Amino acid sequence: MKEEPKSENNEQQKDKKDTSDSKKDNNTKQENKDVEKKKQHKEKEKNSDSKKDNSTKQENKDVEKKERETNKPKPGTTDRIPVELISTVDGDTSKFIYDGKIQSFRFLLIDTPETKHPRLGKQPFGQEASDRTAELLNNANKIEVEFDVGQKQDKYRRNLAYIYVDGEMLNNILVREGLAKVAYVYPPNTRYLSELENSQEVAKSEKIGIWSLDSAFEKERKEESNTQNKVDNKAQDNTSINDNSNSSVENDSTINKPSSTDQNSESFPNCTALREVYPNGVPQGHAAYESKHDRDKDSYACEVN
């Protein structure tokens, strides 16, 4: 009979223990839930911070891009635009990587003797000019181009520009060394015309390069002069014949009446004179077209090269 109370006590103690263990389990579960919530909250904060960082980075990139575009050299201004040399063609033409593409450039306001002209062939100092251009461009640490305010390309789609090698204008170097002359002057692309003309006068006074005896351009001018003299003499002979004919057939107006082609034709002594009236030259069939001015036989006289 005395053992029964002990049994009851044991059961009560067991129940208490079970209840305590259950509470502990519940507390542990709650603690685990709290820990998980904290982890999730931290993860959200981390993701939010990451998004903010990405947004800030994108904003910084946009600002930098805008600044680059704002500060990018602009054609038509005195801004010099860096380019990369691909090859040289001759004394006054080269190919560069410009605006992400390989493009041809014709040096503004100058002309060097030919090296591979279909009619003129290789002119004196043509190879020297070509070699000098190649030397300066290939040895330059920095090559830049500068556009003028007017026409940016010629009819051959070559870019028209001033070329700089390590800060010095290549156009002017060639003129000063007597390897190029001032030519193809078409306003308003005349920013450095005075500077180039001054260099040309110095080269002339020193009689160097093309300004020496029997230079390429001297021969060319003589050929033009001789051709023009023949044309002038022929015109005088024709005029004399027509005058005599007119006096003998004065009453017949149809015999000596000039054709519509003769009435509309125009004659210029050289391309310089022609371009004063027609700056871009004239095509075959035009009243001012003459084969003597079409040196490359492309049916276009005195075009811009």
In the residue annotation, 177 being an active-site residue is answered as no
Catalytic one among 80, 114, 176, 275? 114
* Cα–Cα dist 173/253, whole Å: 61
Catalytically annotated residue among 80, 106, 132, 295 = 106
Query: Pairing between strand 159-165 and 110-111?
Result: unpaired
Residue with tokens 């040895």: 139
d(CA 92, CA 107): 5
192 SS3 class: coil
158 labelled catalytic: yes
Is 106 among the residues known to form the active site? Answer: yes
Give the span between the Cα atoms of 114 and 112, in whole angstroms. 6
286: tokens are 């035009």
- What are the CA-CA distances from residue 258 to residues 245, 247, 269, 284 (Å)? 13, 16, 22, 21
Q: Report DSSP letters for 197-238, one per residue.
A: HHHHHHHHHHT-GGGSTT-HHHHHHHHHHHHHHHHHHHHHHH
Among residues 132, 144, 146, 158, the one annotated as catalytic is 158
Joined tokens for residue 125: 């100092």
Q: State the catalytic residues.
A: 106, 114, 158
